[in-house]
Structure 1
Amino acid sequence: MELLLLSNGKATEYPGLLGWARERVQSVLARKQVKRILLIPYAVIRSDWDARALELTESLGVEAISIHHFDDPVAAINQADAIFISGGNTWRLNQLLHEYSLIVPIQRAVRERGVPYVGWSAGCNVATPSIRTTNDMPVCNAAVLPALGLFPLQINPHYLDASISGHMGETRDERLAEFCAVNPSEHVVALREASLLQISGEAIEYWSARGQDFKIFKHGEAPQEFMDTAPLAGLTPFNPKV
Structure 2
Amino acid sequence: MDILLLSNGKIAGNQHVMEFASEAVVEQIKRTGAKNLVLIPYAVIRSSHDDRVALVQETFDALGLDCNVTGLHRAEDPVKAIQEAEGILVSGGNTWVLNKTLHDLGLVGPIRKAVLEQGTPYIGWSAGTNIACPTIRTTNDMPIITGAVLSSLNLVPFQINPHYLEANVEGHMGETRDERIQEFLEINQYEPVVGIPEGTWLHLLNGELSYHTANGKPLKLFSHGKDPVYYTAEQSIQFLMAHSC
Aligned residue number for residue 151 of structure 1: 156
Please say if residues 181 and 219 of structure 1, whose CA atoms lie closer than 8 Å, have aligned partners that are also in contact.
Answer: yes
Q: How does 1:61-80 map to 2 (within 5 A)?
A: 61=61, 62-80=67-85
Aligned residue number for residue 14 of structure 1: 14
Q: How does 1:1-242 map to 2 (within 5 A)?
A: 1-61=1-61, 62-228=67-233, 230=235, 232-237=237-242
Computed over aligned residues only, the root mean square deviation of the Cα atoms, in angstroms, reads: 1.3
Describe the shift of the 1:229–1:41 C-alpha distance in structure 2 as closer, same or farther (beyond 3 A).
farther
Q: Given residue 41 of structure 1, which amino acid in structure 2 is its aligned partner?
A: P
Give 3-state SS (helix, strand or coil) of 1:4's partner: strand
Q: Which moved more, 1:221-230 or 1:2-11?
A: 221-230
Instruction: Give the deviation of 1:235 after TM superposition.
Output: 2.7
Give 3-state SS (helix, strand or coil) of 1:59's partner: helix
CA distance in structure 2 between the partners assigned to 1:77 and 1:137 by the alignment? 27
CA distance in structure 2 between the partners assigned to 1:39 and 1:228 by the alignment? 28
Please say if residues 87 and 119 of structure 1, whose CA atoms lie closer than 8 Å, have aligned partners that are also in contact.
Answer: yes
CA distance in structure 2 between the partners assigned to 1:64 and 1:197 by the alignment? 22
Count how many residue pairs are aligned between Structure 1 and Structure 2. Answer: 238
| TM-score relative to the length of structure 1 | 0.95
CA distance in structure 2 between the partners assigned to 1:233 and 1:112 by the alignment? 20
Q: Given residue 173 of structure 2, which amino acid in structure 1 is its aligned partner?
A: M
Instruction: Give the deviation of 1:228 after TM superposition.
Output: 3.8
Give 3-state SS (helix, strand or coil) of 1:75's partner: helix
Describe the shift of the 1:229–1:113 C-alpha distance in structure 2 as closer, same or farther (beyond 3 A).
farther
Structure 2: give runs of 5+ residues left out of the alignment: 62-66
Q: Which moved more, 1:164-173 or 1:30-39?
A: 30-39
CA distance in structure 2 between the partners assigned to 1:113 and 1:151 by the alignment? 16
Instruction: Give the deviation of 1:36 after TM superposition.
Output: 1.6
Q: Given residue 97 of structure 2, which amino acid in structure 1 is its aligned partner?
A: R
Q: Given residue 138 of structure 2, which amino acid in structure 1 is its aligned partner?
A: T
Instruction: Give the deviation of 1:205 after TM superposition.
Output: 1.4
Q: Given residue 49 of structure 1, which amino acid in structure 2 is its aligned partner?
A: H
Structure 1: give runs of 5+ residues left out of the alignment: none
Instruction: Give the deviation of 1:46 after TM superposition.
Output: 1.3
Give 3-state SS (helix, strand or coil) of 2:46's partner: coil
Instruction: Give the deviation of 1:230 after TM superposition.
Output: 4.9
Instruction: Give the deviation of 1:231 after TM superposition.
Output: 5.6
Instruction: Give the deviation of 1:234 after TM superposition.
Output: 2.6
CA distance in structure 2 between the partners assigned to 1:72 and 1:13 by the alignment? 38
Q: Deviations over 1:54-81 (max 9, x none)?
A: 1111111222110011110000000000
Q: Given residue 44 of structure 2, which amino acid in structure 1 is its aligned partner?
A: V
Instruction: Give the deviation of 1:37 after TM superposition.
Output: 1.1
| TM-score relative to the length of structure 2 | 0.94
CA distance in structure 2 between the partners assigned to 1:167 and 1:150 by the alignment? 35
CA distance in structure 1 between the partners assigned to 2:79 and 2:85 by the alignment? 10
Q: Given residue 70 of structure 2, which amino acid in structure 1 is its aligned partner?
A: I
CA distance in structure 1 between the partners assigned to 2:2 and 2:213 by the alignment? 18
Please say if residues 210 and 237 of structure 2, whose CA atoms lie closer than 8 Å, have aligned partners that are also in contact.
Answer: no
